[in-house]
Amino acid sequence: MLADTAVLARDCAARKVGLAAFNVVLLDHAEAFVDAAENTGLPLVLQLSQNAVKYHGGRLRPLGRALIELAEASTVPVSVHLDHAESTDLCREAVELGFTSIMYDGSKLPDAQNRETTAEITAFAHEHGVSVEAELGEVGGKNGVHDPSARTNPEDAAKFVADTGVDLLAVAVGSSHAMATREAVLDNQLIAAIHELVPVPLVLHGSSGVPDEGMVAAIQAGMTKINVSTHLNVVFTQGVRQILDENPKIVDPRKYVGPATHLVQEEVERLMRLYAQA
């Protein structure tokens, strides 16, 4: 059933468990994620990033509509989320297409402009019954707000939510995007401090780099929506590479994409249960 991301996140936050949010690159991934959600009986966020839309030729509708239809047909609550959209036009398109939440990423803008634009896109989305995730401005380092050294100030976070009206807030607490190893150490005291002051569910980007025990501790400290992309890409690519190495004559993509996707589904089920038991 198609669900609202903010509603799912608020419910998970109230129960002090994590909400799994996995990024889709191929339709195969989305199908595996939904199958995993149904097997575990747990809610899910299907995420499609601006970069993934670019990969698909800049066309949001084909894969976006497929995600919505998968969510609608699911036996468990599944939301469809636009991730890391720096384009307000893309945000508006996703809202009008039927996505149930969007993340407007104005973190590279000057702080005042980020707040103003985020408030504008939030008002538009709310008029259409769509939830909004956002994040504070760039703190420093080549990875911006997701540099491992970046940290969100709890008071700034609370004011940002008040200024913009967003429904979820991504915060910088020690994770980093595109980590292929799981070595990140999160600042759980900071998570707890932000959680205490910020009235909306918190979102962790760069979760691929966080080991299991670190993720459980972060959820217990107040983190709710857990975004995972690179880790699952690593699982998928390792699976494809092994199959092709062992079977060099294979040319049918179904014979290596299918088994590799199944490995991803197994890992997704494991992560979903981990987050739900935190």
Residue carrying the six token digits 């009008």? 96
Smallest CA-to-CA distance from 9 within 47, 43, 46, 49 is with 43
Annotated binding site for Zn(2+): 84, 105, 135, 177, 205
CA distances from 137 to 103, 184, 223 (A): 14, 21, 19
d(CA 248, CA 215): 38
| Given 83, 147, 167, 187, the catalytic residue | 83
Angle of CA points 107, 230, 100, to nearest 5°: 60
* Cα separation, 97 vs 77, whole angstroms: 19
134, 61, 45, 132: which is closest to 97 by C-alpha? 61
Q: Is 28 a catalytic residue?
A: no
Residues assigned a catalytic role: 83
